Every structure is written in structure tokens, then in C-alpha cells.
Amino acid sequence: MVDISPSENNNLVDIGSTAPVTFQVLQDVYNSLTGKTEKIGKTFSEAYTVDRDDIRQLDLKISQISDQFNVKIQNSSVTVYHINGQNEKFSSFDRFKMYNESNTCPTENVHLEYDFLIILPQIEKPQKYKISIDLPSQVGIIQRANSETDLPAQLFNLMSRSTGRMSIEFVDYTVARTFQTHIEEWFDGLDSTPKYKIVSLIQRKSHWLQIVICFIAVSALFYAVLMSFTSGSSSVSNPNELAKFITTLGGLSFAVFAVSSAFGKLVEHSIDRIQPLGSVTLNNGDKKCIKAAKKRSALTIAKLILGIIGAAATSVASDSLAKLISSIL
């Protein structure tokens, strides 16, 4: 049995009876025996806004990192996916620069892929490394979904979460970690739409909003009626009046419940759709798509305000409904 343990030199690994070897050599031996590579990745959730210049900076950063190593073979590709299901693949970043900016179909995702054959010190055989980066456009994805069906709020939130993905297939972890660190720095340097913590907090419990609004409105009605009886402005003196009172109160309670439920649903639906949306701007279609998304956001805010005002008005109207019951009795 071979005992793998670190030696006094942090760069060496003691594998038993033979002389200590570097961890790079050990990883290369493992890769040669199994033919397997390892993989690391990360998903990003900030609402990034990405344009062609940002992507150019990313390509430049990856090229600069690769210059640190002994790269024997290097190639890259860029694939642009549009919301109409079509895609354009460019065999190099230089060809991607010829992308047609006048295209009117919005972007759904940009996929960048880099392949390297790197020779590390003390390793004679080239090792394969593969970097994959996805830059989904949330506004494009949501526009496509809205054009196909009425998007439920839960699905809307799910589609709004991922704004970037990266993965690296590697043999030597140190090399992969170097690429990963610089790519993460690029994501951190992007402009993004801020998130509002209070909105996120309410969205976690948004499924209770409709119930709470209905409960408040109906409770306000019963409280107003109770106060009316307590003050002596209303009374029930015989069975006929009692039957009339129960029937009237039941009908008005149902009406208050139905109206407050509608406003509560509007509030819940609107609050769930308030999301900072990331975007990728490559063509004219993307610019129009972003404008449309801003209009939808403004409409969502207007619906939310309407729902809150309507729910409040329903509760306030309880006093007038209690007076109506008194007039009937």
C-alpha cells in the first residue's frame, strides 16, 4: 500500500519508498493512468449588464493569463444564441468581432469556449484544459418565455436567478484556479442592477400576502359591525331582524373577501415580478428588448401600487358597510 503524505517541502509529496515528487507530477500520473480530468465551476446571480466591450475585455484577460504558461495549442470559439432558436458560431474571437450589430433578434445567451494544451514544468506531455463561460441575457430569456406563454411568477423568479456560469476542466488544479480567479474578477468588475433586500425578504413570504390582506379586510368589517352594536347604533330585537342581519353580513363579508382577494393576488403577483434583470447587449434587438423590459417593470410597479391602494380602501370601507347594515336593521 502506498502512503501519500506531504514532505517538509510543501512542493513535494512523499509517496513511500521512492523519492518525493511534485504534486504536478502526481496529477499527471493520475491523468495518464485514468484518462480523467477534474472540473470546477461557479454560477453567478448578480444582475450583470454585459456588452461587446466587456466580452472583449474577458477574452483579453484570458489571453494574458495563458501567456503565463507554456501553451502549445490554443483555440477559442464564441456562440451567440438568439431567442428565435437560431445561433451563430464563430471559430475565433477575431471572427466574433464581425458579428452583425444590426440584427433585430435579441440575444438569449453567449457561450465562450477556450481549449488549451499546456506543458507544465517537470511535465513533458501537454495537458488539456477547457474553459466554458455562459453569459445568459435574462431580459432575452424572459421575453422569449413571455412570447410563448404567460409566464408564472415562480418560473419568472427561477429564470431570473442565473446570470453567468463558468466551468474549467483541468489536470493541474493550480492552473485551473489561476484562470478561475481572474474570470471571477472580471464578473466582479461588471456593472450590475442592485437588489433590494426588503423586496427579497417580502418575496420569501409573498404566498401569504393574499391571505393576510383578506383576513385584515374581513376582520375590519366584523370589528366595525361589533363597534356598531356596542355603541347602540344597531340592534337585533326579533328573529326576522336576526335573519336579515346574518344574511346581510354574510353577503357583505363574501363581497369584501372577493374584492380583497383580487387585490391581494395582484399585490402578490406584482411583488414576485420585481427582479433586477441582467442583460447582454450585442445588437439592436437587445436594445429594444431592454427598453421593453423597463416598461414591463414600470407596469409591474404601477400594478403593485394599485393593489396596495385597493386593499387599503377595502379595509377602510368596512365602516361604511357597517353603517349600511345598521340602516337595513
Does residue 178 share a domain with residue 248? no
Does residue 221 share a domain with residue 148? no
The residue range of the domain holding 173 is: 37-193
Does residue 261 share a domain with residue 171? no
Does residue 262 share a domain with residue 161? no
Does residue 252 share a domain with residue 295? yes
Cα Rg for the chain, rounded, in angstroms?
A: 31
- pLDDT digits (tens), the chain, 329 positions: 334 334 444 454 444 445 454 545 555 555 554 556 689 999 998 889 999 999 999 999 999 999 999 898 899 999 999 999 899 999 999 999 899 999 999 999 999 999 999 988 877 788 889 999 999 998 998 888 777 665 555 555 565 567 899 999 988 888 999 999 999 999 999 998 887 788 888 888 888 999 999 999 988 888 887 877 676 655 566 677 677 777 877 888 898 899 999 999 999 999 988 888 889 999 999 999 999 999 988 999 999 999 999 999 988 887 777 676 666 65
Residues in the chain: 329
313: number of CA atoms within 13 Å, CB side?
9
Does residue 203 share a domain with residue 186? no
Does residue 184 share a domain with residue 264? no
Does residue 176 share a domain with residue 56? yes
Does residue 209 share a domain with residue 181? no
Does residue 209 share a domain with residue 160? no
What total number of domains does the chain contain?
A: 3
Per the listing, cell 474570470 goes with 183
Nine-digit cell string for 30: 493520475
Nine-digit cell string for 36: 480523467
Q: Among the three residues 137, 158, 193, which one is the final residue of a domain in this structure?
A: 193
Q: Among the three residues 156, 171, 193, which one is the final residue of a domain in this structure?
A: 193
Does residue 170 share a domain with residue 105? yes
Does residue 142 share a domain with residue 103? yes
Per 3-state DSSP, what percentage of the chain is helix, strand, and coil (rounded to 5)?
A: 55, 20, 25
Q: Among the three residues 134, 164, 193, which one is the final residue of a domain in this structure?
A: 193
